[in-house]
Structure 1
Amino acid sequence: MASSADVSIAVVAGEPSGDLLAGRLLGGLRPHLPEARFHGIGGPAMQAHGFESHWPIEKMTVRGLFEIIPRYRELKGIQNSLRDQLLAERPACFIGADYPGFNLGLEAQLRDAGIPTVHYIGPQIWAWRGGRIKKIIKSVSHMLVIFPFEEEIYKNAGVPVTYVGHPLAEMIPVQPDEAAARRQLGLAQDANVVCVMPGSRMAEIKYNTVAFIGACKLLLQRDRSLKFVVPMAGEKQRQYFLQLIAEAGLQDVELMLLDGQSHTAIGAADAVLVASGTASLEVALFKKPMVIAYKMMAASWHIMRHMGYQPWIGLPNILAREFLVPELLQNAASAEALADAMWKQLSDVPHRLQLVQRFTDMHHSLLRNSAQESAAAVLKVINR
């Protein structure tokens, strides 16, 4: 086989979830391209495979329609600078790892210049902003999707597509070990444990924290034995979280704060209060009852609430095509409503048993060797 030393592949991930996806893809590619240069924008999961990041991934993370406005100029400058670099270099291909607002625009310009583009994962055009398919057709040479129903959508639109499975379905065991997770965290095997996940982004923490911890305080009035475990994405998030709790007068609620360890926290829990997003799918893969909640800037909410195509926002409910678990959004996500919904998840034993079976079936439907499948698709795109 010809040397891979002359192969360059550019990748952009703008958030930790994209870093995880791209990290697995690069792990699948590296054995086939041992000397290739992987570079662009990414985080630690990508860097573990010899990836060179030209900008810190932390610079890219932003959430919401209005929250992006103050950052637009900076992000556009990064996009233009990277575009010029790649047009001069002409890598074998460009891979956009999620982050569609940034990546699709960059992909369109690169593809126009004859550089093959791969997008991993498909934007949720089945949930909202379906008009984006027109931009995808112009921007993407090959789409990698992580949900089985997405393949037909892109095929029908004429976009080459490969279903590669969801990496989380491989990372999380089909039969999680709750006892081991509790031992790892020093929790009693018979403890009543609630995992609280207000989000990893600063904006999510800002809007979700007070309602989430207010719900914990109300739950303690029903059961004083409850233990609350809260995984934090980083020190900055932890300090902001504690600041918000103190400002709301909720510092008397006893919480076990963890540095990361979100999977251990979910695995140890009886039920989870989780912000909508990938974390809700993680909870489903751990076969745990949950309440999905989300709050955001009021102006963003008033616009986005009318843009959805489905009655669900949580990934477990979207995959099930029904409300398997409660969703409480914006004003409906009060501390009182969250506490009531969580209490039902904790106390309804038949419902808990039903969820285990439904989530197990869901897990099997998402299980593939995503690193191998995604790498094979990229190798085909670059003719290796």
Structure 2
Amino acid sequence: MAGLRLGMVAGEASGDLLAASVLDGLSARTDALDARGIGGPQMRHGGFDAWWTTDALSVNGYIEVLREYPRLKRMRDSLRERLLEWRPDVFVGVDAPDFNLDLELALRERGLRTVHFIGPSIWAWRAGRIERIRRAVDHVLLIFPFEEEIYRKAGIPATYVGHPLADRIPEGVDTEGARRALGLFPGGGPVVALMPGSRGGEVERLGPDFLRTAAWLHLRRPDIRFLLPAASDRLFERLREMATALKLPATLPLTLVSGRSHEVIAAADTVLVASGTATLEVALMRKPMVIAYRLAWLSYRIMRRMALLPWIGLPNILSREFIVPEFVQAAVRPEALGQALLAQLDDDAGREAIARRFADLHGQLRRDCASRAAERILEIGGG
């Protein structure tokens, strides 16, 4: 194709990563890709013109969104007008459905073609959103195989393209190599990764209890080593402040890392992780995990009323059973999390069984997502 003008919005770090893979696929198929909108460092590295950064959309929870709504609405209105003036061939909203669907609807009503990448999880909650999706988008790109039938029955054009993380993450993980790269001496005790989230709100709600869990485990198993990756420089400083304020044991073998989350996961024997895309990254790297989830009280009450599934973690949702344990709200306590992690560390057969299940999941999701998504976007944008 001679060229493509692409509008795109990606929210938070995971959306930035997913969108960047699609931009790579489009760049390989067009002579000139001009992509603009809201994006993060991964997208900008590929030449994306970010009018705003993904950090501006990183808000988690219903009450938190309401608090930020005036700012978000001003940004969305300004973005809409810029896109309507620029007139891209196609607009692609990456996840962030509460922001993107309204934007997509406004653009589509003014004659622009719209695609939503990562279908809103109507299978988990907010099933009433389906009519809004039907009006807002020309096509939905799906990352999970079971979603295609749901959208087909709803009469919404959709294509399963696989998950870009499944293409990006290799089948084999070099655990010892990752440990050496992170400065952990080989032959030491087991390694537990602590991943309290990539957003500030998540880290504030989960970070203290994740660190207290490390302290709880250290008292019982002094040989365990801990890795804590921070998604940004700002969160690195915040986590360091948090660890200092908690007055953790001076002997606690805790390594705080800036970025490098994949290396941290690869180095771990098991992972304590906030519910979200990171749980899928852990699963694709064949690692057992304990999932934690905590929202502001009112946000959680609203979400719980709308929930349609008994699971919150993506590996469990995709497997349709509790492959790994989940702890939600008040159940997120250091002793409970610590006991679940110890149970995994002390069960070699159990960890191997989890790894096999996650290997099967990897195979289902690996579909060359970037190529499939790019082909559909070019078809729609060129039509």
**Letter aligned with residue 161 of structure 2:** V
How many angstroms does 1:186 deviate by?
2.3
Q: Which residue of 2 aligns with 1:133?
A: 130
Contact 2:197–2:273 (CA under 8 A) maintained in structure 1: yes
Q: Distance in 1 between matches of 2:84 and 2:95?
A: 21
Paired with 1:104 and 1:343, the residues of 2 have a C-alpha distance of 42
2:302 equivalent in structure 1: 303
- Choose from 60, 77, 82 the match for 1:80: 77
What one-letter code is carried by the residue in structure 1 that aligns with 2:143?
I
Name the Cα RMSD after superposition.
Answer: 1.4
Q: Contact conserved, 2:105 with 2:136, CA < 8 A, in 1?
A: yes
Give the alignment of 1:340-351 within 5 angstroms. Answer: 340-351=339-350
Supply the distance in 1 between the matched residues of 2:53 and 2:308 (Cα, whole angstroms).
34
Query: 1:32 offset after TM fit, Å?
Result: 2.2
- The amino acid that maps onto 1:217 is A
The gaps in structure 2 that reach 5 residues or longer are none
How far, CA to CA, are the matches of 2:321 and 2:272 in structure 1? 19
Letter in 2 for 1:282: E
Q: Distance in 2 between matches of 1:104 and 1:97?
A: 10
CA distance in 1 between counterparts of 2:28 and 2:355 reads 37
Return the offset for 1:383. 2.6
Query: Matches of 2:126 and 2:44 in 1, distance apart?
Result: 32
* CA offsets 1:300-355 (integer angstroms, 9 cap, x no match): 12222222111100001001100000000110010111111111011111211111
Superposed displacement of residue 44, structure 1? 1.7
Would you say the 8 A contact 1:245–1:251 is kept in 2?
no
- What is the alpha-carbon distance in structure 2 between the residues aligned to residue 370 and residue 251 of structure 1? 45
Secondary structure of 1:131's aligned partner: helix
Q: Is the 8 A contact 2:167 2:366 kept in 1?
A: yes
What TM-score, normalized to structure 2? Answer: 0.96
Structure 1 unaligned residues grouped into runs of 5+: none
Q: What amino acid sits opposite 1:317 in the alignment?
A: N
Cross-structure match for 1:233: 231
- Report the Cα offset of residue 294 of structure 1: 1.5
Matched with 1:54 is 51
Matching residue of 1:163: 160
Equivalent residue for 2:115, pick from 114, 118, 142? 118
Question: Could you tell me whether the CA contact under 8 Å between 2:287 and 2:354 is conserved in 1?
Answer: yes
Between the aligned partners of 2:126 and 2:249, the Cα distance in structure 1 is 40
Aligned residue for 2:180, secondary structure, equals helix
DSSP-derived class of the 1:305 partner: helix
Secondary structure of 2:327's aligned partner: strand
- The answer for the alignment partner of 1:220 in structure 2 is 218
Cα distance per residue 1:3-43 (max 9 Å; x no partner): 32xx4210111211111111111111112222231111111
Letter in 2 for 1:94: F
Distance in 1 (alpha carbons) for counterparts of 2:353 and 2:186: 22
Residues of 2 paired with 1:108 and 1:28: CA distance?
Answer: 26
Contact kept, 8 Å, 1:289 with 1:346, in 2: the verdict is no
Give, as a single letter, the amino acid of the residue that structure 1 aligns with 2:382: N
Report the secondary structure of 1:11's partner residue.
strand
Shift of the alpha carbon at 1:190?
2.7
Secondary structure of 1:273's counterpart equals strand
* Paired AA for residue 215 in structure 2: K
Equivalent residues of 2:13, 2:198 under 8 A apart? no
The answer to whether the 8 A contact 2:236-2:257 is kept is no
Alpha-carbon contact 2:195-2:271 (below 8 Å) kept:
yes
- Percent identity between matched residues is 47
Aligned residues: 381
